[in-house]
Structure 1
Amino acid sequence: MSASGDVTVTQAERIKRLRAQLQGLKPLGTFGGAKVAPAAATGLLYGVMLRGAARMADGRELTDLETQMVKFLRPLASEEEIRELGRVFADEQSSHALGMFPDVLTSRGMEQGYAFEDLVKDLPALRADVAAQPNLSLVDLDRLDEGAPLDSPEFIEGMSAYGHGVTVVTASDHHPDARATAKPEQVLVELKAYSCQRESNELGDDELYWAHSASSDKAGKQSGVTREYGDVATGDYRALDAGTVLFNGQVDKFLTAHIICWEADHSSSQWRDDMHDTMRKISDILFEMADKLAQYGGHFPVPEYHDLIDYFEIVGMIALAIAALLELFRNHDDEVAARTFVFDRAALGKWANDLNAIANFEFDGGSEGHFTLIAKATSSINARPRATSMPRVLPGGQHTWSPDVPFPSGTMSGTPALAEYYDKLYCVVPGFAGSGSLWWSTLENGAWRPFAQIPGAVTSDSPSLTAQSGPGAGLWCAYNRRNAVVVTRFSGSSWSGQETVAENIVLGSPALSTYGQRLICVVRGPENKLYWNERDYDRWGTFKPFASGTTCDSPALGQDGSGVPHCVVRGSNGKGLYLSKYISSTPSWSSFQGLPLGSASARPALAHSAEGLVCMFRADDLSEELRYATLRDNTWSPVTKHPTATSADGPALVKYSDTTPEAPYGYLYCVHRG
């Protein structure tokens, strides 16, 4: 598929597909059972892309708009192939009319470019044709009846017919005063789950994955591709892995997102890597378009709707360009449906500050199936860490968890980390709004102090924390920085500089623990295999693979009552939990054993109570409740639900030695993201 690597669709096949598009044999951007050709006006930007490639092949200087649209091709094709696509466009245009593009583009001679100022000038005349398409919708959250869906039946039918949909979301009663200088909205949007309304018409159950990208006008850009979720049939429900983030950052006026639902048939690892690159480029293009439109006179005060109308039109064109381009390059996986969303600031503010802010987005691909994607937005005020504890009692003793309560300050995204160091409890959390920063706090006199930033620590994942005695004693924090394992140490008064342990080894978050005076690190690495390393005295060794075991998520470490580390992971397909024990004499790790605890939707946590080794995890359903079980005498207790705690991500769990009359053996302490 790409310019290098494992090619799943040949260049000759891509050229054949493009000619079929330009000859009208297949409507632009239609997949699966979709058969309706879009209005020519919506094909404008795809035409600019191909025409720009043709002008580049002729050695002509490209306009600003052509440059941006041709740039979109580069993660998918070599420079020579881009020119060849352009030559095909020029050849087809010379032999017949290209009715899928508007006259404002096709009537120009090839010597005349098409620039952003041409786009802005032509928008009003094209508006009626674009807005009339039933797969484009404008939703006002303040005008929806209570309980009414975001997607109307007419829109869902239109999306099925065209193969993709475009939705602009506003909240007309929540627009900020244009004269005010409000700070940008900080928002976290996560994809929570999906349900199958109708499976595809292929034999066997469907295997789905989701590709997504998002960009705000504050330059926040994110993209990703989920793992495959197998055996999906009509009526089924699947919780997506915790931390499936569509966007985490700041928004001034607009957030734009593009989401594709795929059914996996013949995906290779190279195809998935290329899809990651494609979604990143989509984020870049969406940001460039929003930025350029603002420069050319859009984005007037929202109550007048002028900016939304123009933006609505532009997004419809971008969505079609994305759909048509992916049709050239995709492998044999089936695209179910694709959707582009634009949320204005008012819509995000209303959505993110609703504590029950669950939104359902329909993806109806006709014969390829119909799926409902469930998303949630969260504002910073609703993203505080929450804490709950339970006295550590001897077997047979009575114990109960305290109600989970929010920290007095601080916001977070992801999974927190906990450790006890010199009789104090420490917590490190990943920052909110996409900063990538790490923040730490300590529990003193029963109250959490205000969070402070760890200098120089930046990660897109969650941290790990452990305390070490002996040489190198301190509170150690490990995190992932661009797939490298990086550590920093707290001496009791300040954090050290950042030390890189190994490059290109970690996917997700590393895990830390100790054995005696050894510092131990376990990571999920290449091909989802598990690797481990240890720091003995003052130096790290090299990462070594576990003898067996793969996982879809980051590992977790915890010690039993004898101080021996155990590693717990989720299964490679998200099913089940598995446990391995550190063998100090070798040193090595035992084979992973399946646990009778069910499945989790996030990284679990391990800690020792007076009763035994406790495993806590987030439920694999939309309840998001925290559950736990205890290993005692090689037998696991029944799984128990925490009485009050639900979490948007995995929990952190630690043995805390602080004693009180009600807890003579200390506490089992949990922090999570509510």
Structure 2
Amino acid sequence: MTFILAAHSDRLERLRAQLAGTARSDSRMERRLRLSPQTGFLYGMTLRAAARLEQDQKLTDLEENLIGLLRLSGSSDSEIAEFGHLYRDNLTARGTGEIFPAAVTGRPLTEGYSYEDLAAELPALAPELTSQPTFRTVRADALGPDEGIDTEEAAAARFEYGGGSIVVLADGDIGPWATNPTPLDVRVEYNKFYAVRVGDQGGGRSEIYWASGAGSDTAAYPDFKSREYGATSSGDTKYFDSGSYVFRGTIKNTLMCNIQCWEADDSDGGFYNRLREALRDISRWCYDKSEKLIDQNEDYNASSAFLSLVALISDLINLILGWLINEDDLFGEVDIAYSSRGLYEMSRRSVDHNRVNFSGRNGSNSVDLYMKVVMPQGPVFPPEPLKLRTLNNGSWSSATELPNSLSRTAPAVEAFQDKLHVTFIRGGGTQLLWTSSENASSWTTPTQIRGFGGYLRPALCPVDANTLLGVHVGGAGELWWSTYDGSTWSAHQRVKNYVATAGAALTWHDGRIYLVHRGQDQAMHVNSYANGQWSDSTVLSSFAGMFKPTTPSAPTAVSYKGVLHVVYRASDNSLGWFRLQNGSWTPSSVASHWRTTAGPAIEVSDNRMYCLHVGTGGRLYSASYDGTAWSGATQIGGPVATDDPVLQTYQGKLRLMYR
């Protein structure tokens, strides 16, 4: 068996061979270095910083962090100076010029290289960094029911080049508009692993263990090293012991993890204890710098900046590990970066979606790791006040702001007993608040409904002239309902055992209230309420269940001309449309070329069905349906919506509320 950390003399010899161009060309580290001219960018800057340290130059902030990575691996400053001396002596060697770009080797050692220097160069590096086969970006909210975060192609590239990275995002979660005001609790648990193939040519048995370091932008999680899972054969499934975590702590925006699968174990774990501290700082830095890049370059959006930084850091960690550790017994290694919204979406999916493959030993070993994400409270947009506009003779009024209406979600709006009622989740908290107006102008002070709380958009719908039904989503996605009789809200009750992953929609149709919600499978589920009882839910589908669309957002529903209509944001961001008539659902689309970035809204007014959706840049577009055809979409001047708009007819006029 081998130790994880290589001896200093071995590190020097590896580096000397790399710089001279005589290193083994078949090693995964060498293949990774030659994958792209920019792959070794930060690795080269690390060696360059070591050379500046050897010359007693004052290190920049970035250089201090890069040297810190070498220190955490156990190298002393005198040993790091040896690395720098070797780099300096080989600046003109064949290998140095092949693996490091001129931006590294061509800069005089008297000049430092700072974070700000990197930020200025990053936009030019981005396309090459994020197009590498070892780099995979995943939109968790757009994954199909059978899709996971890893693919065979990505796993093959990681095997070929000695590691890689997976970045798990969701819609609209990178950038200053997505900053979470308070840290959110999250757990990424080791659940199980499946031995696809172990031992020579897939025969024999192996002793397998796992090691990881992880850090969010708020916390570092103590390093993890599993016990050895002995006598593991091809086809075996092994479950992790209780309390096995990749990460357990809080997150505001980003989490970065480095996970390795090994055969045999002789390490003390101290290296990973230091690595997780670095990952915490790296995670925080990636997010902070991606935001600052927007200010420096308006053409470079924060999502691209974040992805580029993750690609750079992944290359650096992979190359540093390949240099400093012995990988004779390494099955595979991967860096995974999650955004807060990406984590929340993955928490709503089964462990089968959060699978990552680890392959090594010339393909003779292949192991699938399954992780479970637990995140009770989802990330939120910064709280925004609710705004109201009214459609008057075909023109929308200017916006009026509801007082004390800072909300973390889109609201629910409903006309009941001659008043306009609004419920929403308090900005910066989880309380379900309620306000009402007799004229859509003067509003009551928002008050909490019976201690209720939630994290997603609520819904309202009258049952009859004396009863208003409300539905809200709890911290674990559970659906709750209660009623209002004009003076008091009832205690809430569960809507059976259903779990929602987005705000629900309510509407009255054919003597019943219909509830449409997005389930854990991302499909839409429909059930109804009558006489105090809820029916069982069915998946919204057609063609004998062959067409079962998924949605990344909350759906919307209304009854119009005897037909129940459901409009939703499809997985390709088009507007999907279902109609229930004579007991069967008919699928269609509102307009194939329209695209939305949030859940749409539909409502009936003046004998037409209106549909609003959010286009690029948060701009709102309106169209209407007369029972035969849709009108063209027209932009509503002025408003920019953070998320789903809401429509409601009150006192004979169509009202639009958004935030």
Q: Could you state the TM-score of these two structures normalised by the residue count of structure 2?
A: 0.52
| Counterpart residue number, 1:502 | 496
Deviation at 1:429, TM superposition (A): 1.6
1:128 alignment counterpart: none
In structure 1, distance between residues paired with 2:136 and 2:77 = 40
Aligned residue number for residue 5 of structure 1: none
Residue matched to 1:263: none
Query: Is the aligned partner of 1:626 residue 2:557?
Result: no
Give the secondary structure class of the aligned counterpart of 1:527.
Answer: coil
Check conservation: 1:200, 1:368, Cα contact below 8 A. Answer: no
Q: Take 1:320 and 1:409, find their aligned partners in 2: how far apart are those partners?
A: 31
Aligned equivalent of 2:115: 137
CA distance in structure 2 between the aligned counterparts of 1:320 and 1:209, rounded to whole angstroms: 14
Q: Is the 8 A contact 1:256 1:341 kept in 2?
A: no
Distance 1:555 1:649, change over 3 A: closer
1:412 to 407, 413, 416: 407
Distance 1:227 1:582 in 2: 37
Instruction: Give the Å deviation of 1:402.
Output: 0.3
In the alignment, is residue 401 of structure 1 matched against residue 399 of structure 2?
no
The Cα shift of 1:667 comes to 0.7
The amino acid across from 2:391 in the alignment is M
Partner amino acid, structure 2, of 1:469? D
Q: Distance in 2 between the 1:442 and 1:328 partners?
A: 61
1:645 aligned residue: 639
Does 2:538 match 1:530?
no
Instruction: Return the alpha-carbon distance in structure 2 between the equivalents of residues 20 and 593 of structure 1.
Output: 63
Aligned-pair distance for 1:466? 1.5
Residue 551 of structure 2 corresponds to: 552
Aligned match of 1:200 in 127, 131, 145? 131
* 1:386 is the counterpart of 2:398: no
Describe the shift of the 1:671–1:594 C-alpha distance in structure 2 as closer, same or farther (beyond 3 A): closer
5+ residue gaps in structure 2? 15-26, 51-69, 80-110, 142-147, 152-168, 187-209, 223-252, 264-280, 316-338, 342-378, 543-547
1:219-265 CA distance string (max 9 Å, x none): xxxxxx9999xxxxxxxxxx9735777442248xxx999xxxxxxxx
Matched residue, 2:284: 341
Q: Secondary structure at the match of 1:508?
A: coil
Pairwise CA distance, 1:610? 0.5
Q: Which amino acid aligns with 2:398?
A: P
What letter matches 1:208 in structure 2?
Answer: T
Deviations 1:470-510 (A, max 9, x none): 7x832423335412221122221122212111335322122
CA distance in 1, matches of 2:592, 2:217: 46
Instruction: State the Cα deviation string for residues 374-412 of structure 1 (Å, max 9, x = none).
Output: x999865xx211111113xxxxxx421001232222201
Q: Give the secondary-structure state (helix, strand or coil) at the position aligned to 2:396.
A: coil
1:248 counterpart letter in structure 2: N
Q: Does structure 1 retain, via aligned residues, the 8 Å contact 2:422–2:434?
A: yes
* Cross-structure match for 1:672: 658
By how many angstroms is 1:443 displaced?
A: 1.8
Contact 1:416 1:652 in 2 (8 A): yes
In structure 2, the partner of 1:431 is 426
Q: Is the 8 A contact 1:560 1:613 kept in 2?
A: no
Question: Structure 1 pair 553/152, CA: closer, same or farther in 2 (3 Å)?
Answer: closer
Paired residue for 1:241, among 140, 156, 171?
171
Corresponding residue for residue 463 of structure 2: 468
Q: CA deviation at 1:648?
A: 1.0
Shift of 1:515: 1.7
Deviation at 1:567, TM superposition (A): 0.6
Secondary structure at the aligned position of 2:654 is classed as strand
Matched AA of 1:410: S
How many angstroms apart in 2 are the aligned matches of 1:321 and 1:388? 39
Q: Is the 8 A contact 1:464 1:479 kept in 2?
A: no
SS at match of 1:341: helix
Q: Distance in 2 between matches of 1:377 and 1:458?
A: 14
Query: Is 2:453 the partner of 1:453?
Result: no
Alpha carbons of 1:636 and 1:198: their partners in 2 closer, same or farther (altered >3 Å)? farther
- Once the two structures are superposed, residues 131-162 of structure 1 have per-residue CA deviations (whole angstroms, 9 ceiling, x without a partner) of x995x6379xxxxxxxxxxx6325668x87xx
Shift of residue 654, structure 1, vs aligned partner: 0.8
* Preserved contact between residue 200 and residue 367 of structure 1 (Cα < 8 Å): no
How far apart, in 2, do the equivalents of 1:526 and 1:641 lie?
33
AA aligned opposite 2:420: L
Q: Using a 3 Å threshold, how does the CA distance of structure 1 residues 668 and 226 change in structure 2: closer, same or farther?
A: farther
User: In 1, distance between residues paired with 2:592 and 2:218?
Assistant: 47
SS state of the match for residue 153, structure 1? helix
* Alpha-carbon spacing, 1:557–1:211, altered in 2? closer, same or farther (3 Å): closer
What TM-score do you get using the length of structure 1 for normalisation?
Answer: 0.51
Q: Quickly say closer, same or farther: Cα 1:321–1:384, change in 2 above 3 A.
A: closer
Q: Contact 2:523/2:550 (CA < 8 Å) preserved in 1?
A: yes
2-side partners of 1:443 and 1:26: how far apart?
Answer: 67
**Distance of 1:457 and 1:226 partners within structure 2:** 35
Counterpart Cα distance in 2 of 1:528 and 1:377: 19
Partners of 1:384 and 1:407 lie apart in 2 by 7
Distance 1:595 1:321, change over 3 A: closer
The DSSP-based 3-state class of the residue aligned with 2:488 is coil
Question: Judging changes above 3 Å, is the alpha-carbon distance between structure 1 residues 483 and 503 closer, same or farther for their aligned structure 2 residues?
Answer: farther
Corresponding position of 2:610: 614
In the TM superposition, residue 627 of structure 1 has moved relative to its aligned partner by 0.3
Match of 2:74 among 102, 112, 125: 102
Aligned to 2:630: 636
Q: Does 1:153 align with 2:124?
A: no
Q: 2:138 aligns with which of 184, 203, 209?
A: 209
Larger Rg: 2
Among 254, 259, 262, the residue aligned to 1:325: 259
Q: Provide the residue aligned with 2:569 in structure 1.
A: 570
